[in-house]
């Protein structure tokens, strides 16, 4: 009987593995997410404001994760994290302008334009605009937090931020980003909470939020504590779906162990919204 159970297990596993192998993926590279009128005459926008789209070509109504790279708003380039590939989802790796060539506000506007592109175009590739998730690491996480919590950025594209299915930032800055503070002549250790701080826009009716940071003693400056305060203020504002996870043993470069948590959250929300989980 044990042999029969083992054979059945092998058959089920092999069928599941075979089904997974049948998923095929496409890649669209260097897609401009601004319209031609915006790009015309601005070589820097044309160069930086592009995205790569990786997506299942033989699946429908799949989720999409918009991923913003880190780099302190001063460096980095669009990326498709390996841990998110071949997972039955679309991944949209976004490039954006960088400081000092662009201001912090212009960079947030770039991020919002990329998310707006995702909402308006993902269905053309088979995905669902009800399953747009926003994520990123460090500066990229900050951008996602800003465009989700401050509704004004997506409203410039006639979109409501609350349509985002879930926000999952990795070690994002909850106070005003240090590069924006530097623009004001402030030091890294001088805190500021103004309109460029996700914390300033804490609200009870935001999309679900899973905040992930490294260990508080290993993280950059007070990154864990910033996220802990954001979690508390979200809950005090009546938000029912804010969760903070602290990854022990990891510092600011905590993306590797966080990716499975992101995927679990995407699957959880996808199922809750009535779609088959990837």
CA distance 152 to 245: 28
Output the pLDDT for position 41.
85
Residue 14, domain member (yes or no): no
Residue 122, domain member (yes or no): yes
Residue 200, domain member (yes or no): yes
Residue 276, domain member (yes or no): no
Output the pLDDT for position 7.
41
Which strands form 242-247's sheet, in the order they lie side by side? 25-32, 50-56, 90-94, 64-68, 132-137, 166-170, 209-214, 242-247
| CATH assignment at residue 179 | 3.40.50.1820
CA distance 130 to 166: 10
Residue 11, domain member (yes or no): no
CA distance 263 to 259: 6
Point out which residues pair with 94 in neighbouring strands: 51, 68
Residue 275, domain member (yes or no): no
Residue 6, domain member (yes or no): no
Do 137 and 255 contact (CB within 8 A), yes or no? yes
pTM equals: 0.92
Output the pLDDT for position 4.
41
DSSP notation for 33-72 = -S-HHHHTT-HHHHHHSEEEEEEESS--S--EEEEE--ST
Note down pLDDT in tens along the chain; length 278 residues: 444 443 444 444 444 444 455 899 999 999 999 999 999 989 999 999 999 999 999 999 999 999 999 999 999 999 999 999 999 999 999 999 999 999 999 999 999 999 999 999 999 999 999 999 999 999 999 999 999 999 999 999 999 999 999 999 999 999 999 999 999 999 999 999 999 999 999 999 999 999 999 999 999 999 999 999 999 999 999 999 999 999 999 999 999 999 999 999 999 999 999 999 99
Cis previous bond, 100, omega within 30: yes
Residue 27 parent element (H or E): strand 25-32
Comparing CA positions, the residue from 70, 75, 159, 61 lying closest to residue 114 is 159
The count of structural domains within the chain is 1
**Which tokens is 113 given?**
């334009």
What domain range is 38 assigned to? 24-270
CA distance 169 to 132: 14
Residue 49, domain member (yes or no): yes
CA distance 53 to 118: 9
Give CA 67 to chain center in angstroms: 4
Output the pLDDT for position 21.
58
* Tokens 């948590």 -> residue: 261
Residue 196: what are its φ and ψ, rounded to 5°? Answer: -95, 20
Residue 105: what are its φ and ψ, rounded to 5°? Answer: -65, -40
């Amino acid at each position: 009987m044990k042999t029969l159970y083992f054979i059945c297990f092998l058959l089920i596993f092999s069928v599941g593995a075979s089904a997974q192998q049948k998923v095929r993926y496409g890649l669209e590279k260097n897609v401009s997410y601004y319209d031609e009128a915006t790009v015309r005459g601005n070589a820097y926008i044309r160069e930086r404001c592009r995205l790569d789209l990786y997506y299942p070509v033989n699946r429908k109504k799949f989720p999409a994760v918009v991923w913003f790279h880190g780099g302190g708003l001063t460096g980095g380039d669009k990326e498709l994290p390996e841990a998110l590939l071949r997972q039955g989802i679309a991944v949209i790796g976004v490039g954006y302008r960088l400081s000092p060539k662009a201001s912090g506000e212009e960079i947030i506007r770039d991020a919002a334009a990329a998310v707006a592109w995702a909402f308006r175009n993902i269905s053309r590739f088979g995905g669902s605009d009800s399953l747009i998730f926003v994520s990123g690491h460090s500066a990229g996480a900050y951008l996602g937090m800003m465009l989700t919590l401050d509704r004004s950025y997506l409203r410039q594209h006639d979109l409501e931020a609350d349509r985002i299915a879930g926000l999952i930032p990795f070690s994002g800055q909850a106070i005003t980003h240090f590069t924006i503070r530097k623009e004001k002549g402030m030091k890294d250790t001088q805190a500021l909470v103004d309109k460029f701080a996700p914390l300033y826009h804490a609200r009870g009716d935001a999309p679900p939020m899973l905040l992930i940071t490294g260990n508080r003693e290993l993280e950059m400056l007070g990154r864990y504590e910033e996220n802990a305060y954001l979690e508390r203020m979200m809950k005090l504002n009546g938000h029912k779906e804010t969760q903070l996870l602290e990854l022990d043993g990891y510092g600011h470069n905590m993306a590797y162990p966080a990716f499975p948590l992101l995927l679990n959250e995407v699957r959880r929300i996808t199922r809750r919204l009535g779609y088959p989980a990837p």
